[in-house]
């Protein structure tokens, strides 16, 4: 049995004071939510505030990106050891906004994922098709290319520590969620890629989250699909009551 995992992706929202205020409201609402692993991925500069505010709770704090070198002359970048040093436990890798606006490729997704694992950070690796790819029937081919470039080169031991997030690009921030059946089909396709590369046991074990306009009112239908192990939540994670009701689906 895979334990559900709900991760909030705050993107470029909230300052340190808003971060502290959020956790004050959020933590009591999820204090009894032991059915589920919970993470909040905050902007870099607010990670210390988020770690302090999460305190000894079960809510893990994550970043939204990392660079693959440990240190060096890479102006503007943040490394895995730096994230660990401020108390991060997980990190999103390869989000479609990184791919679309910041030239992330499957090759750099792999490097970042490997860097996360070397630093004992739990990577949440995002894959997903764009609207024109879905409309031209290329969804599974796109998922295969992203899997082969970004995940398949990992060792089995490394892969065992990865969470995958399926996020159809057309559903992110648009209010258009994939139907539970559409999401489950994509999750099945990803899981069969995992079976072919890493074997049936690895495919049974890996958690695949759905992301794209997950809200309190559609999470139940998504989580009713046995293929869907949790959600990566953007907009609806910004408000404590809304994300808590997703956690407590
Ligand atoms: P959304 O974002 O929930 O606002 O659609 C999801 C994501 O980008 O991870």
Ranges of each domain in the chain: 5-247
Task: Please write the tens of the pLDDT for every residue from 63-96.
Answer: 999 999 999 999 999 999 999 999 999 999 999 9
pLDDT in tens, 146-196: 999 999 999 999 999 999 999 999 999 888 888 999 999 999 999 999 999
- The atom number, within ligand 1, closest to the CA of 214 reads 3
Going 186 to 191 to 195 to 200, the CA torsion angle's sign is negative
Share of the chain above pLDDT 90, in %: 97
- From ligand 1's centre to the CA of 89, what distance in Å? 20
- Which 8-state DSSP code applies to residue 44? G
Q: By alpha-carbon position, which residue is closest to atom 2 of ligand 1? A: 234
What pLDDT, on a 0 to 100 scale, did the predictor assign at position 1? 83
Nearest residue to 215 (alpha-carbon basis) of 241, 190, 188: 241
Distance CA 104, CA 106 (A): 7
Q: Is 150 in the pocket of ligand 1 (CB under 6 A)?
A: no
Q: What is the pLDDT of residue 175?
A: 85
**Catalytic-residue membership of 187:** no
CB of 234 closer than 6 angstroms to any ligand 1 atom: yes
5-247 CATH fold: TIM Barrel (3.20.20)
In short, whether 167's Cβ falls inside 6 Å of ligand 1 is yes
């Amino acid at each position: 049995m895979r334990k559900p995992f709900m991760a909030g992706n705050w993107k470029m929202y909230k300052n340190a004071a808003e971060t502290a205020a959020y956790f004050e409201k959020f933590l009591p609402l999820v204090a009894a939510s032991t059915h589920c692993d919970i993470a909040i991925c905050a902007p870099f500069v607010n990670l210390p505030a988020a770690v302090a505010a999460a305190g000894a709770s079960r809510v893990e704090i994550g970043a939204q990106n990392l660079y693959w070198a440990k240190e060096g002359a890479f102006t503007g970048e943040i490394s895995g050891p730096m994230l660990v040093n401020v108390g991060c436990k997980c990190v999103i890798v390869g989000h479609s906004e990184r791919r679309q606006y910041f030239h992330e490729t499957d090759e750099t997704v792999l490097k970042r994922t490997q860097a996360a694992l070397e630093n004992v950070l739990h990577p949440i690796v995002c894959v997903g098709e764009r609207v024109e790819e879905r409309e031209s029937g290329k969804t599974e081919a796109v998922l295969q290319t992203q899997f082969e470039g970004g995940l398949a080169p990992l060792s089995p031991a490394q892969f065992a520590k990865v969470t995958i997030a399926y996020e159809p690009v057309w559903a992110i921030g648009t209010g258009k969620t994939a139907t539970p059946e559409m999401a489950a089909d994509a999750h099945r396709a990803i899981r069969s890629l995992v079976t072919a590369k890493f074997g049936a046991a690895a495919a049974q074990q890996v958690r695949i989250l759905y992301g794209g306009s997950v809200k309190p009112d559609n999470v139940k239908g998504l989580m009713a699909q046995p293929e869907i192990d949790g959600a990566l939540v953007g907009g609806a994670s910004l408000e404590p009551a809304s994300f808590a009701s997703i956690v407590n689906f």
